[in-house]
Chains A and B, each alone.
Chain A
């Protein structure tokens, strides 16, 4: 089955700096890679995702890159703000581009991001 490794487990940055979280996956059949943000006392919130047919996707201050050959993908947050402080989870899924597949997400262990004002 799929195995997702996520690093680092904790990350502290100064407000305004960039933060990068990296994940690797084991199953070459995985082709959908979402990132979730979980604030204290809340459920995970989907913030960005990438599919295997693209190498990079950006949404305002958040970007995700994917290297299928190396089986790793990364989350980049620029100009960090205190409200970015949360636990971030990466995940991988073997869902097909046509909608087929298991839909089962395998999650990394999470990264606790602290943005220091």
Chain B
């Protein structure tokens, strides 16, 4: 199966700054997603990262706060902008889709980025 990695694995940031999280898959994949998981909570979808076009955001998440790039079929970035303590969470990327060896609908997650905002 494909390997998915995220950088950084964790970070501590100051209020008002921005952090860009990278997600890399070692195979070309159709769909890539970004999730937020607040401490002790479930996963909430932030957006779907579309290759070659703007990301599709879920209700409650906006591009100005969480700009996303998807320059190719193996890589995506999520930026958490103008951070506040409420942004302290685990940010997870996942991939899925019908391309390559993966069955449709299956999603596989990266190890996550643990963000603490002071």
B108 and chain A: residue at smallest CB distance: A46
* Residue contact A103 to B96, C-beta cutoff 8 Å: yes
Which residues of B from 39 to 69 have beta carbons under 8 Å from A? 41-45, 48
Is there a chain B Cβ closer than 8 Å to A89's Cβ? Answer: yes
Residues of B within 8 A of A49 (CB): 105-106
Instruction: State how many residues of chain B have any CB contact under 8 Å with chain A.
Output: 22
Q: Write the nearest CB–CB distance from B78 to chain A, whole angstroms.
A: 14
CB distance from B44 to the nearest CB of A (A): 8
User: Cβ of A43 and Cβ of B45 under 8 Å apart?
Assistant: no
Main SS of the interface on chain B?
A: strand
Residue-wise, chain A 65-83 has the 8 Å CB interface mask toward B (1 for contact) of: 0000000000000000000
- Once A104-B45, A105-B45 are accepted as A-B contacts, the answer to whether A99 and B112 lie under 8 Å apart by CB is no
Evaluate contact between B109 and A110: CB separation under 8 angstroms: no
The answer on a CB contact under 8 Å between B110 and A43 is yes
C-alpha spacing A96/B98, complex, angstroms? 11
Query: Is there contact, CB below 8 Å, between A89 and B111?
Result: no
Chain B positions 13 through 51: 1 when the CB is less than 8 Å from some CB of chain A, otherwise 0? 000000000000000000101000000011111001000
> Considering the chains assembled together, what is the distance between the CA atoms of A72 and B83 in angstroms?
39
Residue numbers in A under 8 Å from B104 (CB-CB): 95-99
* In the assembled complex, B92 has its CB within 8 A of some CB on chain A: yes
Q: Which of A88-104 contact B (CB under 8 A)?
A: 89, 93, 95-99, 101, 103-104
Q: Within the complex, what minimum Cβ distance (angstroms) separates A36 from chain B? A: 8
A interface residues with partner B (beta carbon < 8 Å): 32, 34, 36, 41-46, 49, 51, 89, 93, 95-99, 101, 103-105, 107-110
Identify the B interface with A (CB < 8 A): 31, 33, 41-45, 48, 92, 96-98, 104-112, 114
